[in-house]
Amino acid sequence: MAAKKPAAKKPAAKKPAAKKPAAKKPAAKKPAAKKPAAKKPAAKKPAAKKPAAKKAAPKAAKPKVKRKPNAAFMKPMTPSAALAAVVGAAALPRTEVTSKIWAYIKKSGLQDKMNKRMINADAKLSEIFGGKKQVSMFEMTKLVSKHLK
């Protein structure tokens, strides 16, 4: 990496040199071009020292601890009769119930076209949603949990 940065400095030094012959009349611009060139290497020196890359290595150590799924989400729950019409009568974990409801919503095109966070209820879902015609996706999970035992 150190070899690349000096190479980057050399073209930067050549560019102001190319500008100097073109701008011979305004002499004030020549020193101005030199000053930013002097500032740039000073700015690059701290950038060349990158202990931040070493700090990233401890962050990579955190994912080594494998995340355990919450047992409450994985416990099979029995759906009510109204919910069984959508997801089936077999006992399913909450995660599977939610994914099956979303599959039903997508298949039936019940997601609101303008505000995608809202779900429009059809006959089956209105029973689950307590008679509401439209429910937010966050409220939906709350209403569905009432139908799981």
The domain spans of the chain are: 72-145
For residue 115, how many other CB atoms are within 10 A of its CB? Answer: 9
For residue 129, the model assigns a pLDDT of 92
Which are the contacts of 121, defined by CB distance < 8 A and separation ≥ 6?
Answer: 110, 128, 129, 132, 133, 134, 135
Give me 44's structure tokens. Answer: 């690059």
* Cβ atoms 105, 111 nearer than 8 A: yes
- Enter the pTM of the model: 0.52
72-145 folds as MDM2 (1.10.245)
| pLDDT given at position 48 | 55
Phi, psi of 54 (to 5 degrees): -70, -35
Per-residue model confidence as pLDDT tens for the chain (149 residues): 555 555 555 555 555 555 555 555 555 555 555 555 555 555 555 555 555 555 555 555 555 677 776 777 788 999 999 999 999 999 999 989 999 999 999 999 999 999 999 999 999 999 999 999 999 999 998 999 999 98
Residues pairing with 79 in the sheet = 148
pLDDT of 127 reads 92
Q: Distance between terminal CA atoms of the chain? A: 60
Query: What's the full length of the chain, in residues?
Result: 149
pLDDT at position 114: 94
Residue 7 is predicted with a pLDDT of 54
DSSP for 90-135, written as a single string: S-B-HHHHHHHHHHHHHHHT-B-SS-TTEEE--HHHHHHTTT-SEE
CB atoms within 10 A of CB 149: 9
Q: Which neighbouring-strand residues pair with 111? A: 119
CA 138/CA 149 separation, integer angstroms: 20
